């Protein structure tokens, strides 16, 4: 039985800044683009690997206080940076086989929702870092 339940452990670091206490969701996707190589004579579609295309999507509480979400992200729009995600906070600094650290270097932040306001709710934003090189550290 393979299950992973996340309560408060995952660690998130954006541009060296810990955003663990503002993050509610993190998805790291490692994609190898599929190039079709089906040829005459084939009866099923066949694909080969193209370029790798990585993505990290994070849901964060928005805060305009010093050293918080807005201050961390505002200057990163249109630039590249390094984003780290691990299933534990300890994994960010001391990764292991059971606490791997996924690092996206050269991750591009295309868009930042600067305000997402709804009456009576905590403001949250969803951001996506695209591209870059994904490495997995297990030691």
Partner 1 sequence: MTYRIVSPRIGTPGDKFEPEAGVNVEALLLHGFIVEDKAPPKSAKTITNNPKD
Nearer Cβ to partner 1, position 18 or 57? 18
Taking CB under 8 A as the criterion, the residue among 63, 90, 106, 128 binding partner 1 is 106
Per rule CB under 8 A, is residue 138 in the interface with partner 1? no
| Min dist. Cβ of residue 2 to partner 1 (A) | 32
> What is the distance between the alpha carbons of residues 126 and 61, in angstroms, rounded to a whole number?
9
> What is the distance between the alpha carbons of residues 51 and 137, in angstroms, rounded to a whole number?
21
Question: How far apart, in Å, are the Cα atoms of 96 and each of 14, 87, 101, 112, 138?
Answer: 20, 11, 8, 32, 4
Per rule CB under 8 A, is residue 76 in the interface with partner 1? yes
Per rule CB under 8 A, is residue 105 in the interface with partner 1? yes
Per rule CB under 8 A, is residue 69 in the interface with partner 1? no
The SS3 call for residue 44 is coil
Nearer Cβ to partner 1, position 47 or 64? 64
Taking CB under 8 A as the criterion, the residue among 28, 58, 132, 134 binding partner 1 is 132
- Label each residue of 62-116 as H, E or C: CCCCCCCHHHHHHHHECCEEEEEEECCHHHHHCCECCECEEEEEEEEECCCCCCC
Taking CB under 8 A as the criterion, the residue among 66, 97, 115, 122 binding partner 1 is 66
> What is the distance between the alpha carbons of residues 22 and 24, in angstroms, rounded to a whole number?
7
Nearer Cβ to partner 1, position 81 or 87? 81
Where along the sequence are the contacts to partner 1 (CB under 8 A)? 15-19, 66-67, 71-72, 74-76, 79-82, 105-107, 132
């Amino acid at each position: 039985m393979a299950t992973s339940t996340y309560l408060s452990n995952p660690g998130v670091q954006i541009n060296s800044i810990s955003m663990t206490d503002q993050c509610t969701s993190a998805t790291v996707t490692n994609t190898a683009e599929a190039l079709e190589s089906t040829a005459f004579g084939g009866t099923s579609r066949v694909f080969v690997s193209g370029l790798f295309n990585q993505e990290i999507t994070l849901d964060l509480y928005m805060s305009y206080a010093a050293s918080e979400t807005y201050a961390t992200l505002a200057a990163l729009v249109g630039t590249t940076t390094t984003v780290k995600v691990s299933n534990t906070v300890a994994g960010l600094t001391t990764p292991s086989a059971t606490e791997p650290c996924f690092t996206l270097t050269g991750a591009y932040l295309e868009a930042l929702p600067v305000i997402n306001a709804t009456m009576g709710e905590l403001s949250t934003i969803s951001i996506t870092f695209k591209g870059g090189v994904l490495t997995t550290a297990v030691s």
